[in-house]
Amino acid sequence: MLTAEQITAYDRDGYVLVPDLFSAEEIAILLSHVNDPRVGGHTWAAKDAAGKESKLSLWMDTGDDVFGAVSASPRVVTAVQMLLREEVYHWHSKVMLKEPRVGGAWEWHQDYGYWYGDGCLYPRMLSCMIALDPATRGNGCLKVIPGSHLLGRFDHGRVGGQNGADQERVQAAIARLGEVYCEAPAGSALFFHGNTFHSSEANLSDHPRRAYICCYNALSNPPYGGKGHGKVEPIRMAADDAILRHGATVAG
């Protein structure tokens, strides 16, 4: 459960970092699955403005596997519903793989900048990024513009091989609001609003930065015209120890 202070911080800043949401044992189990066929079968690479690539694997169902246990985890879903003040459904989930020395940047953007094109009328959408490795400035941790979720949606276009926001307006926002590097130990979870500006720099370290990102939409905000991701239905919560159970099954 989130505290009143954490909810207030999210409302003010458009993000909140929750340390130790998942244990070291749970993170070790998740890391042991990042090379599973489910991840590899959905992986693609996106080039940043400098031509460096970061790999991303994305799917829209929760799935009956260890990653689905995270997307449907009561620790994640309950927190999301507390922040949005309503019931949500699973939009999509993804594994982000930023490899040592070669992993590229993610340009400044809002997730709703392109989810808008999926037919969602409101930005009642939220992501939860779980650090599978320690996230540091050296390995390209996420950075955000605090309070930028209150600016509304900016126009987005192509920046390198990625979707990026109007860079001139982004720099104006940074000049007024600043930017924050979200360094975090493995097992931490960063919840951020669909309109919160975020980016990350290239991984110049000798260590990978891997993360699992679960995205949600309010049940009251279904896309029009049959577009969008996921199924517009309440999430069937997983057991709180589901990740550990998956680990025990594999070990067995």
Indicate whether 155 pLDDT > 90. Answer: no
pLDDT recorded at residue 36: 86
The CATH number for 210's domain is 2.60.120.620
Q: Per-residue pLDDT tens for 25-50?
A: 999 999 999 988 878 777 767 777 67
Indicate whether 214 pLDDT > 60. Answer: yes
Q: What pTM was computed for the model?
A: 0.94
List the one residue out of 202, 230, 234, 223 whose CA is nearest residue 59: 230
Domain range for 54 is 4-251
Distances (CA, A) of 192 to 195, 221, 227, 228, 229: 8, 17, 23, 20, 18
Tell me how many domains the chain contains: 1
pLDDT recorded at residue 172: 97
| Residue 114 φ/ψ, nearest 5 degrees | -110, -25
Q: Per-residue pLDDT tens for 89-139?
A: 999 999 998 889 877 788 899 999 989 999 999 999 999 999 999 999 999
